[in-house]
Amino acid sequence: MSIVYLNGQFLPRAEAKLSVDERGFFFGDGVYEVTRVVRGRLFEWDRHARRLARGLRELRIDAGLSLDGIGALHERVVAENRMTEGQGTVYLQVTRGAAPRTHHFPPAGTPATVFLSATPFVPPNELRARGVAVVTYPDYRWTRCDLKTVNLLPAVMAKQFATDHGAFEAVFLRDAVVTEGSHTNVFGVIGGEVRTYPNSNYVLPGVTRDVVVELAREMGIPVSETPIYRHEIAQLEECFLSGTTSDVMPVVAIDGAPVGTGKPGAITMRLYEALARRLAAASGTAAPATVVA
């Protein structure tokens, strides 16, 4: 039985109960983070914490806890679930709390709802070796995609469309531009240059995305935060997704057409290996094989 944190208490998951007046339930009025855990250690927590803080500030939600306090809760939920070996993820959700339903904010002093859980995670390495297919889907989302809110209906519809079509991910097209995936950022290689949509209100500033851009720069791989246009999809030499639960995932087909050779690309795999080394280093293990195996 997994142990979760809810509003001040650690308790078995089945015993954690929310009010029907929860604003997350009525309005999707909250933010979340999914943080990777490797051998009991949080990966890139500082970046998650910065993104969380920005989201809370923009939405004017007072979590009632400091960022350090939220970080400590992450560590505690990992420990409570004895996740000292292998890998996992921690899910955090902070909403504006429970109050009678009104669109405007609830009365001052209404405590936020804070929830954390920890789940074992096995990286999808077999899938990575083959690469995945994706389908394009209209980007029906609002124009604050930079905020990691729990309003995920467009992402749910898009991912289900992908699932219905036997694809791993749906890649959003806003007008004629690739923005990101339903739960990943999207990269392409054209003319040897790695490209991804610039951080702006149209995409989530992915933690993995930012690490990958940093790694590419360190490795001397040309990288540009420039959008990929729909008409350039056919010219992609390589394509990959990035995300906490995907790492770097090669894309070998888009809407049924092969990308490049139809196999995971060389630049993609170099970036994946660099990320795997970063994950291993964060866990305090010397050998990346313990992470990538």
The CA distance from 162 to 99, in Å, is 36
Q: Which of 6, 133, 207, 228 touches ligand PDD by CB under 6 A?
A: 207
Contact between 196 and ligand PDD by CB under 6 A: the answer reads no
Residue type, 168: F
Question: By CB under 6 A, is residue 290 in contact with ligand PDD?
Answer: no
Residues 215-219: contacts with CB under 8 Å, at least 24 apart = 215/271, 215/274, 215/275, 215/278, 216/271, 218/274, 219/270, 219/271, 219/274
Location of structure tokens 């679930």: 81
Whole-Å CA distances, 106 to 45, 58, 92, 204: 30, 17, 22, 27
Near ligand PDD in 211-270, by CB under 6 A: 242-245
The reply to whether 169 sits near ligand PDD by the rule CB under 6 A is no
Q: In the complex with ligand PDD, which residue's Cβ is closer, 34 or 61?
A: 34
Q: With binding defined as CB under 6 A, does residue 199 bind ligand PDD?
A: no
Nearer to ligand PDD by Cβ, of 7 and 245: the residue is 245
Cβ distance to ligand PDD smaller for residue 178 or 207: 207
Q: Which is nearer to ligand PDD, 208 or 283 (CB)?
A: 208
Contact 30, 97 (CB under 8 A): no
Rounded distance, CA 184 to CA 104, Å? 31
278 binds ligand PDD (CB under 6 A): no
Please report whether residue 185 would count as binding ligand PDD according to CB under 6 A: yes
| Residue 159 appears among annotated catalytic residues | no
Q: How far is the CB of 148 from ligand PDD (least distance, A)?
A: 7
Measured from the CB atom, is 34 or 269 closer to ligand PDD? 34
- Decide: is 34 part of the binding site for ligand PDD (CB under 6 A): yes
Tokens of 143: 């124009």
Question: Which one of residues 178, 204, 228, 249 is an interface residue with ligand PDD (CB under 6 A)?
Answer: 204
As a whole number of angstroms, the distance between CA 254 and CA 259 comes to: 7
- What does the alpha-carbon distance between residue 293 and residue 123 come to, in Å, rounded to a whole number? 9
- Cα 135 to its chain centre, rounded Å, is 19
Among 93, 113, 136, 208, binds ligand PDD (CB under 6 A): 208
Q: What amino acid positions are annotated as catalytic residues?
A: 148
Interaction site with ligand PDD (CB under 6 A) = 34, 180, 183-185, 204, 206-209, 242-245
